[in-house]
Amino acid sequence: MQRIKRQRDFADETWTLTPKECPASGTSTGTPATTLTLKGNFNNEAAVGERAVAVGPWANGIGARSVALGGRAVSNGMQAIALGQATFANGENTLALGSYASVHGENSLAIGTDTFCR
């Protein structure tokens, strides 16, 4: 028998994002570590940006008009879009598409599983 999920099952989580090497050049991004507290998103309380959308457990739409779809998807920037499991779109007009895709910086995109773009 499957247990019904309750709000307490979706406690807030704290993520610390450290700078990552860019695979293409082998150089560091130079970005300082960032700490985010992600809401569990049980009642869509994690769509905190103006007109933001967050769908999935721990999905967080932080920026204005941002979209986060998937478990632990985070869109942190105006019009940022994060689609997929544990994706992170950080910056204005960014797109992260695919499981564990991560993009940092304005007008950038990362497409594919475990991709990174700065």
State residue 27's pLDDT score: 44
* Of the candidate ranges 3-7, 99-103, 109-113, 114-118, the one whose mean pLDDT is the lowest: 3-7
DSSP character string of 3-45: PPP-GGGG--EEEEEPP-B-TTT--B--PPPEEEEE---SSST
Predicted model pTM = 0.76
Residue 104 scores a pLDDT above 70: yes
Task: Determine the pLDDT at residue 101.
Answer: 93
* CA distance to 9, 35, 81, 88, per residue, from 99 (Å): 23, 21, 13, 10
The whole-number pLDDT of residue 26 equals: 44
- Note the pLDDT tens digit of each residue in 53-86: 999 988 999 999 999 999 999 999 999 999 999 9
Angle, vertex CA 18, rays to CA 12 and CA 22, nearest 5: 130
Tens of pLDDT along 11-47?
777 766 655 544 444 444 555 566 777 888 877 788 9
Q: Is 98 helix (H, G, I), strand (E, B) or coil?
A: coil
Cα dihedral 46, 70, 89, 17, rounded to 10, equals: 80
